[in-house]
Homo-oligomer: A and B are copies of this chain.
Amino acid sequence: MADFALGVGSIYGIKIELNALFLLLSLLILYLSTYLFMIWVLLFVCVLVHELVHSITSKWNGVTVKKIVLYPLGGGSIIDTTGLKPETEFRISIVGPIASLLLAMLFGIANMFAPAGIVRTTLQLLFMLNIFLGAFNLLPWMPLDGGRALRSYLQEKRSFLDATRLAVRASNVITVLFVAGTIAYAFLAPGFSFTYREFIVLFDVVIAFIIYSGAQSEMQSAVIKENIADLYARDAATKNYTVVKSDMRVEELYRKLLKGSAHIVLFKMGGKIKMLSNALLQKTPKAKLAGLSVGDLGADIPSVADNLPLYDAIEKMKLEESGIAVVTKRGRLFGVLLMPHIESIVALHMSQKHKQTNK
C-alpha cells in the first residue's frame, strides 16, 4: 500500500501522483480541521512548484522525467539518471530550493500588503514554510537537494564513489547535529507541554532516520556502481524464455505452457518485444480469454542494449518499476534481465572482486 500512488493529471507533460499515505494523511487532516487542511494543500502546492522546477530544468537539459510524486514528508521528481553529467545534476538539484526561497520572498512581500487577519497569518505561515523548504534543501544533506548538489560539485575533482563518500559523511554530521539540536530545543526551551515535546522529538527523529537511511542507500548504490563498472546488461541476461508469434491462439499457448519449456513468454508486435502478462491473463474473463491471441495479452517491458552498463540497466528497470527487461543485441533479442537474478550476479561479482583485492 505504501507503494500505491494516485495519478492526478500532468503539468507541462509531467505526470503528478499522490502517494497513498499522503492521501490518507490528507483525509485525516481534513477530518481534524478545515483550516489546517487548507494550509496543508497550500504547502503541497508550494512543494509541487519546487518539484516542477526540478523536473522542468531536467527536461530543458535533455533528461527524461518519469513523474513527480507527493509523499507525506515532501515531493520527489523521478528522473532518468542514466549518463547524467555532474554539472547537469548540480543545476537540477539547486534550482528547487532556490525556487522555494523565491516563493518565500513573494509570500513575504504579499504579507506586507495584506490586511491583518486570517489572510496575513496564512501568508506568514507560507513564508515560513517555504523558507524551511528552501533552507533544508540547501543543506548538504543527502539524499536531499543540497546533498546531491554537493556531490556533483565534488565530482569535478573526484570519482563518483569518492564524491558520494564525502557527501554522505557531511550528511551524517548534519543528521547528528539535527537530532542533538531537536532534543536540546525541546527540553531546554520553556513552555512546551510534555506530549508536545515527545511529539517534536519523535517526529524529528523519524525524519533524521529516513534521511540517514537515504544517505546510506546512496552510499551503497555508489559502491555497487563502482564495483560493477565492468559488468554489462549481457552479463546478467538469462536465456530462459520462449519466443512465440503474436498471433498464436490462446489454446496453442496453453498446450505449449503445459510442456513446461519456459515460464517467460515473449513475442514481437509492432517492432517491439512484449511479454505475456500474467496480470492480464488473470483479469480477462475466462469466456473471452478462449477467443484471444497472445498479442492481446502482452505487457510492455523495458528494453536495454546488451552493451549498456549493468548499473544503468538496473536504474532503468527501477525507473520503469519493472522487475524484468529484455536485452537486445543489434536490435535482436539477446536475453532477459530479472531483478533477483541481477542481484545474485552483483553479489557474486562483488565477492570475487573482494577476493582479488585481498590477494
Interface positions of A (Cβ within 8 A of B): 1-2, 235-240, 250-251, 253-254, 257-258, 260-263, 276, 278, 281-282, 284, 286-287, 289-290, 335, 338, 340-341, 343-345, 347-355, 358
Contact = CB atoms under 8 A, between A and B. Distances in A.
Contact of A345 (B2, B258, B351): B258
B289 A340 contact: no
Contacts of A250: 348, 351-352
19 contacts: A1-B2, A238-B260, A240-B262, A240-B263, A251-B355, A254-B345, A254-B348, A254-B349, A254-B352, A263-B340, A281-B343, A286-B347, A286-B354, A287-B351, A287-B354, A289-B347, A289-B348, A289-B350, A289-B351
Contacts of A262: 238, 240
A253 B348 contact: yes
Nearest to A253: B348
Nearest to A280: B347
A254 B356 CA distance: 14
B354 A290 contact: yes
Secondary structure of the A contact surface, majority rule:
helix
A234 B251 CA distance: 19
A343 B284 CA distance: 13
A352 B260 contact: no
Contacts of A260: 236-239, 335
Given A262-B240, A263-B338, A344 B276 contact: yes
Contacts of A261: 238-239
Contacts of A263: 238, 240, 338, 340-341, 344
Contacts of A341: 257, 263, 278
A235 to B, nearest CB: 6
Contacts of A345: 254, 257-258
A82 B235 CA distance: 43
Of A238, A338, A345, A351, which is in contact with the most chain B CB atoms at under 10 Å from its CB?
Answer: A351
A283 B161 CA distance: 22
A62 B253 CA distance: 41
A290 B2 contact: no
A6 B237 CA distance: 37
Contacts of A286: 347, 350-351, 353-354
A280 B131 CA distance: 45
Nearest to A289: B351
Nearest to A227: B286
Contacts of A235: 258
A235 B282 CA distance: 18
A31 to B, nearest CB: 10
Contacts of A258: 235, 345
A261 to B, nearest CB: 7
Given A282-B343, A286-B347, 20 more contacts: A1-B2, A237-B260, A238-B262, A240-B263, A250-B352, A251-B352, A254-B352, A257-B345, A257-B348, A263-B338, A263-B341, A276-B344, A278-B341, A278-B343, A281-B344, A284-B347, A289-B347, A289-B348, A290-B352, A290-B354
